[in-house]
A and B are shown apart, each in its own frame.
Chain A
Amino acid sequence: MPNTRQFLFTLLTLVLFSCEKDDICVDGDSAVLVIEFRDAGNIESLKPVNGLSLLLNDTAYQGIENQSVSKLELALSATQKNYVFHFVQGESELTDRLELNITPIITYVSRACGYVLEFEGLSAQPLDSLDWISSIEVLIETITATNDPHLVIYH
């Protein structure tokens, strides 16, 4: 059946050539802010927060409500530069307010991806005296698409 074979070969060639590299984005993605919660007594080890809620303007940010986590990945906005987050610890119902300042920037990747969102100049400071958090530390000020923690919260 040489005709069938030829037909299939032509079809395969057409399928292969019709899918261009330019049509799919594989080279990059927008960055997220990675926050880690660590033990205040042992700053190298992760320590989950029991029943953590993260509030921005009195609503749970990205559905983070009563979760027990040691790491948060926050997809920050492409336009906002200033955030006041309420970190609520479920057990004690203590709330600590942290102010974050950050500048969104765009980085060109390729035709298919276009621009991805990254951030620079991260700074964080407590708005009033801290209750359940003992201290915070900014590890990396420039946020690109990696899994390294940028902000560490010791408690």
Chain B
Amino acid sequence: MIRILSFITKRVALICTLSVGLMTYGQTAYGLRVGADLHRLVRTSLNDNYSGFELSGDLRLKKKLMLSAELGNESFLDQEKLGDYLLYETKYTGSYLKLGADWMVYAQKTNEKNLVTAGFRYAISTFSSDLGAVHVYDSSRLRESEGFPLFTQDGESFSGLNGSWIEGVLGFKTGLFNNLYLGASLRLGFLVSEKSPDNFDNLWIPGFNKVTDGARFGLNVNYTLSYFIPVVKK
């Protein structure tokens, strides 16, 4: 946890330095917005099988263009069931980084408090997966009259897994007060590459969400509270 925090602090420091650099370089930088995802925090408190957080930042480069990034860490216990019976469960844990740009599609003319943005991200995630109870699928019902035969209570662990994907982002932001913004975004990811373990698949990837068999698309959302630090006012 301390490692993750120090990693994040370093990233935030990097983004800040970058923004200051851009500010002194020219008058195009308008400001930096930093935020945290509320959706992941709420999900962490409501869902026992999930924990995670995401920090986000964007830097306004031009009137209609922003550089955007998200950094997060997620852990999810995926339980695959058939009917009422557990087949197998896997815990996925890992971090992700998304980098890209957003364009302002719509901004309220008077004060730019309400924004609609569209953009893309390139995202990478490194994670590990750990199989818990593994039951084998058996339609014959000869081994067990109910449920599925247990193969092991604690299955294999796989580390050093990764995935990369491209994400299309549709975002909405509204200004609350004192440079505080509330935003929501819907993201459709297209998995470009993944490293999956032998004799298993990545069924869930941190930052990407559920991976469907035979398809490369994944859907995820965030709901952020962010603070806008005005760097240069024009």
| A-B interaction | yes
Q: Would you call A82 an interface residue if the criterion is a C-beta within 8 Å of the partner chain's C-beta atoms?
A: no
Contact mask for chain A residues 19-45; partner B; CB cutoff 8 A; 1 contact, 0 none: 011100100111010000000000000
A112 touches B143 (CB 8 A): no
Residues of chain A with a CB closer than 8 A to B143's CB: 30, 75, 77-78
Residues of chain B with a CB closer than 8 A to A77's CB: 143, 149
Contact mask for chain B residues 193-234; partner A; CB cutoff 8 A; 1 contact, 0 none: 000000111010000000011100000000000000000000
Residues of chain A with a CB closer than 8 A to B136's CB: 30, 78, 106, 114-117
Contact with A114, one of B80, B150, B212, B214 (Cβ below 8 angstroms): B80
Residues of chain B with a CB closer than 8 A to A81's CB: none
B151 touches A78 (CB 8 A): yes
* Nearest CB of chain B from residue A28's CB, rounded to whole Å: 7
* Nearest CB of chain A from residue B191's CB, rounded to whole Å: 15
Contact with B138, one of A29, A107, A108, A111 (Cβ below 8 angstroms): A29
B142 touches A115 (CB 8 A): no
Residues of chain A with a CB closer than 8 A to B203's CB: 111
Q: Please give the number of chain A residues whose Cβ is less than 8 angstroms from any Cβ of chain B in the complex.
A: 26
A49 to B197, CA, bound (A): 46
Contact (A114, B199) CB under 8 Å given A22-B212, A79-B151: no
Q: Would you call B87 an interface residue if the criterion is a C-beta within 8 Å of the partner chain's C-beta atoms?
A: yes
Residues of chain B with a CB closer than 8 A to A117's CB: 136, 138, 149, 151
A30 to B77, CA, bound (A): 25
A79 to B150, CA, bound (A): 8
B151 touches A22 (CB 8 A): no
A45 to B80, CA, bound (A): 45
Contact with B137, one of A32, A104, A114 (Cβ below 8 angstroms): A114
A113 touches B137 (CB 8 A): yes
Task: Give the dominant DSSP class at B's interface.
Answer: loop
> Quick one: closest A residue to B151, CB to CB?
A78
B138 touches A114 (CB 8 A): no
A32 touches B140 (CB 8 A): yes
A30 touches B140 (CB 8 A): yes
A29 to B80, CA, bound (A): 16
* Nearest CB of chain B from residue A108's CB, rounded to whole Å: 5
Residues of chain A with a CB closer than 8 A to B6's CB: none
A28 to B199, CA, bound (A): 14
Contact (A111, B150) CB under 8 Å given A62-B142, A75-B143: no
Contact with A107, one of B87, B150, B199, B201 (Cβ below 8 angstroms): B199
A79 to B137, CA, bound (A): 14
Q: Which of B136-172 contact A (CB under 8 A)?
A: 136-140, 142-143, 149-151
Q: Would you call A109 an interface residue if the criterion is a C-beta within 8 Å of the partner chain's C-beta atoms?
A: yes
A29 to B143, CA, bound (A): 13
Contacts A/B (CB < 8 Å), 30 sampled:
A20-B212, A21-B214, A25-B82, A25-B139, A29-B138, A29-B140, A30-B138, A30-B149, A75-B140, A77-B143, A77-B149, A78-B143, A78-B149, A106-B134, A108-B199, A108-B200, A108-B201, A110-B201, A111-B203, A111-B212, A111-B213, A112-B80, A113-B87, A114-B80, A114-B88, A114-B135, A115-B135, A117-B136, A117-B138, A117-B149
* Apart from A79-B150, A111-B203, A115-B88: 15 A-B pairs, beta carbons within 8 A: A20-B212, A21-B213, A21-B214, A28-B137, A30-B138, A30-B143, A32-B142, A78-B149, A106-B134, A106-B151, A107-B199, A111-B201, A116-B138, A117-B149, A117-B151
